[in-house]
Amino acid sequence: MFYHSSKLQYEVRVEKPNPLFAKMLQQAIGGVEGEIRVAMQYFFQAMGARGPVKYRDLLIATATEELSHIEFLGHAVALNLEKAPTSMQEEAAKDPVVNAILGGMNPRHILSSGLSAMPVNSNGVPFDMSHIYATGNIGADMLANATAEAGGRVLAERLYNMTDDPGMKDMLSFLIARDTMHQQQWLAVIEELGGLEAALPIPNSVPESHEATKHSYVFLNTSLDKPAPEGRWTSGPSLDGKAKFSQA
């Protein structure tokens, strides 16, 4: 069961409200790299977790934290929309800056939400729940989670570079830090279960008779005019320690 405290997990301040940055911040709320996605992904994984209870606890604890990230980002969007122009009447006809803002901001921040955050990305496309990856296989799910946090941290850094508002930079530095931790905690689960060598191939419970193993460690080059790109994947031991890589 969930509870709420009136304190934000991270206090947000905005010195120079910027409706264009509000539009961009939406990517961190309703984008595939955003907080709704991770909150719901960890929540559904937790509900489906059937193994040791500590992994379920880990998932639900972090799902809960991500809900709090949605919350302070929502405040950040609203603060960036303060004083946004809501009219193209006098001023816009004259002022190219206002014109550019009205053209560049998300019109639904004016028309639909009344200057508040929405569960959409920076193009205004609503988040859809097909992005909640939860297979019931812990290896697959932990990789999916690390992926989500990698995408999230890439995004947070790009948003950091986009703004020069000190309040926004401060908030983003917190999100960057939490994404660091979250990446690591999901990969730490894999390490605790024996590391990648033991986890691979995912799922590691497939009977050998189900797999045409002669195709399992062979890089297939489909290029007509270039040799196979050589690397760690074309020779040497496979990452699961069961075979040697080759190429065809």
How do 246-247 and 218-219 pair as beta strands? Answer: parallel
Query: Can residue 239 be called a binding residue for its own copies (CB under 8 A)?
Result: yes
Tell me: does residue 35 bind its own copies (CB under 8 A). Answer: no
Are the CB atoms for 32 and 131 separated by under 8 Å?
A: yes
d(CA 180, CA 213): 36
Residues from 93 through 152 that contact its own copies (CB under 8 A): 93, 96-97, 99-108, 110-137, 139-140, 143-144, 146-147, 149-151
Query: Judged by CB, which is closer to Ca ion: 69, or 75?
Result: 69
The one of its own copies, Ca ion, none whose footprint includes residue 224, by CB under 5 to 8 A per kind, is: its own copies
- Judged by beta carbon distances under 5 to 8 A according to partner kind, the member of its own copies, Ca ion, none in contact with residue 210 is its own copies
Query: CB under 5 to 8 A by kind: which of Ca ion, its own copies, none does 225 bind?
Result: its own copies
Helical axes 19-30 vs 53-81, angle rounded to 10°: 160
Residue 123 Cα to chain centre, angstroms: 16
Task: Take residue 180 and report the two structure tokens written for it.
Answer: 């660091």
Contacted by 34, from its own copies, Ca ion, none: CB < 5 to 8 Å by type: none
**Residue 178 near its own copies by CB under 8 A:** yes
Report 61-100 residues binding Ca ion (CB under 5 A).
66, 69
Helix 19-30 vs helix 96-104: angle between axes, to the nearest 10 degrees?
10
